């Protein structure tokens, strides 16, 4: 299994609207992609920003590429992301899972 992570930040006033937007876009697309084994979308207030940390689980690199395309190390963005995000990671991290419960 492969874990894929990404972070982005909004203004606190935009956090609820961005959460709704993520559910309609990223969460829906992640979970509809064959080979997706789970998605955790988290957020926390961090001073003058709200941090969003997305964690997804994939059964294989083929499944990751089915979602992310030919450059799986690049983040996937949606049309209105820039209206919400004050900062974002343009790359993602991947981890091989070697143990779980």
The verdict on residue 82 lying in a domain is yes
41-74 per-position pLDDT tens digit: 999 999 999 999 999 999 999 999 999 999 999 9
Domain count, the chain: 1
Residue 47 counted as domain residue: yes
Does the residue 101 lie in any domain? no
In a domain, 24, yes or no: yes
d(CA 73, CA 89): 11
Q: Is pTM beyond 0.85 here?
A: yes
Taking phi first (over 0 means left), then psi (-120 to 50 degrees means alpha), and beta for anything else, what does residue 19 get?
Answer: alpha
Domain containing 80 equals: 2-96
Residue 33, number of CB atoms within 10 A of its CB? 17
pLDDT per residue as tens digits for the range 66-89: 999 999 999 999 999 999 999 999
Q: Are 4 and 58 spatial neighbours (Cβ–Cβ below 8 Å)?
A: yes
Would you state the pLDDT for residue 9? 98
Return the CATH number at 50: 3.30.70.100
pLDDT averaged over the chain? 97
Residue 86 lies in a domain: yes
* Per-residue burial over 55-71, b = 16 or more CB atoms within 10 Å of its CB, e = otherwise: ebbbeeeebbeebbeee
| pLDDT score, position 73 | 97
């Amino acid at each position: 299994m492969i874990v894929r992570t990404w972070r982005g930040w909004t203004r606190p006033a935009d956090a609820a609207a961005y959460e709704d937007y993520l559910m309609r876009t990223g969460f829906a697309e992640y979970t509809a992609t064959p080979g997706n084994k789970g998605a955790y979308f988290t957020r926390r207030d961090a001073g003058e920003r709200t941090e969003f940390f997305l964690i997804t689980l994939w059964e294989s690199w083929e499944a990751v590429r089915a979602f992310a395309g030919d450059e799986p190390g690049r983040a996937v963005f949606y049309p209105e992301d820039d209206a919400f995000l004050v900062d974002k990671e343009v790359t993602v991290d991947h981890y091989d899972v070697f143990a779980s419960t």
